[in-house]
Structure 1
Amino acid sequence: MVKGAHWSLKASLMARCSDDNWKAQLPWVLLGLRTAPRSIGEPSLAKNNSGETIAMPGEFFPASSNENNQTPERIRNALSKFTLCHQTFNDTTKTFRHQDLRTCDFVFIYDDAHRPPLRHSFKGPYRVINRNPKAYLLLIHRRGDWVSTNRLKPAVIINNEQFKENTIKE
């Protein structure tokens, strides 16, 4: 979460600042990140925390006809340019899932740890006990353990009965 917040802060500062004056723009960037919706159809962080939309700085100063003091008018004009921006990027990347993964009885688990040369990338096969859209409950060393479907590959067992006997005796 911190890495994602740091990325969005850095990207916002780079988009807002064209010179080295990023310190002056930091409060406006932070306000924008706080009031912008997280994704399409979701409320902003401020609305999630307080239950209300946060007042933008341009709303603090009411319109006045006083021409003698130009400072509030200048501030009002500068702050009225800040509006809520809507998120335009939505991550829709799809990960590959083998079609047989939904119906198979046994799966292999991808081992993403560092391994020496000529070592297998997958461990298993392990029996599938329960399925969810994002994770499967597997029987691993006589214990049930949930594993993400991104790490699974269906196992094709030729002689099911003989393999079932061998896995129970472990």
Structure 2
Amino acid sequence: MLPNVLLGLRTFLKEDLKSSAAEMFYGTTIRMPKEFFEDLDVNVDPATFIGDFRDLVRKIRPTPSAHHSKQKMLRLKEIDKCSHVFIRTDAVKLPLEPPYSGPFEVVYRNSDRVFTLNVNGKEVVVSVDRIKPAFLAKTDTQQDAQPEIAVQPRT
């Protein structure tokens, strides 16, 4: 019974304040449990109701979407200068399988977002989202430059 008594006290009109505690707190009067179901003896014509309802539905427009932040595309610094790149493998991989394949030679850059690469003798167009620059040593690009190890016989 205590919640009902407290609700009654909070909705009681205070003469000196000209409002109730609930009205000051919520900014409006609150309904008592008995006031939720009102008997309205209003006879509404169904044709009038449908007409008004159709007019209301016709006025409803979707809210335009808003992009609150313009995120810049992640662009690696060296991607415009590199001669070779790695391509991300977009497939299910086994454990310990490398996520990138390559390095592959950059044939030319079509735009900021598209590169043409030499992949196993074929020219393949790849998005910049799937590649990362390959930093190669000068000896890595030359197949012939193998250091020779001199073995001296033991005496």
TM-score for the superposition, normalised by structure 1: 0.47
Q: Which one has the largest radius of gyration?
A: 2
Q: What is the CA distance between 1:81 and its match in structure 2?
A: 3.7
Residue matched to 2:128: 149
Q: What is the CA distance between 1:75 and its match in structure 2?
A: 3.9
Structure 2 counterpart of 1:112, from 90, 94, 99: 90
Q: Which amino acid aligns with 2:128?
A: T
For each residue in 1:21-68, what CA deviation from the matched residue of structure 2 results, as whole angstroms up to 9, or x when unmatched? xxxxxxxxxxxxxxxxxxxxxxxxxxxxxxxxxxxxxxxxxxxxxxxx
Percent identity between the two aligned chains: 24
Residue matched to 1:12: none
Q: Which amino acid aligns with 2:115?
A: Y
Residue matched to 1:139: 118
CA distance in structure 1 between the partners assigned to 2:97 and 2:89 by the alignment: 10
Q: Which amino acid aligns with 2:117?
A: L
The 5 Å alignment of 1:1-170 reads 70=48, 74-75=52-53, 77-79=55-57, 81-83=59-61, 85-89=63-67, 92-131=70-109, 132-159=111-138, 163-165=141-143
Q: What is the CA distance between 1:84 and its match in structure 2?
A: 5.2
Normalized per residue, the structure richer in helix is 1
Q: Which amino acid aligns with 1:120?
A: P
CA distance in structure 2 between the partners assigned to 1:152 and 1:108 by the alignment: 5
CA distance in structure 2 between the partners assigned to 1:147 and 1:111 by the alignment: 12
Q: Which amino acid aligns with 2:129?
A: N
Q: What is the CA distance between 1:94 and its match in structure 2?
A: 3.7
Structure 1: runs of 5 or more not aligned: 1-68
TM-score for the superposition, normalised by structure 2: 0.51
Structure 2: runs of 5 or more not aligned: 1-46, 145-155
Question: What SS does structure 2 have at the residue aligned with 1:78?
Answer: helix
CA distance in structure 1 between the partners assigned to 2:94 and 2:64 by the alignment: 48
Q: What is the CA distance between 1:141 and its match in structure 2?
A: 0.5
Q: What is the CA distance between 1:140 and its match in structure 2?
A: 0.4
Structure 1 runs of 4+ with >4 Å offset: none
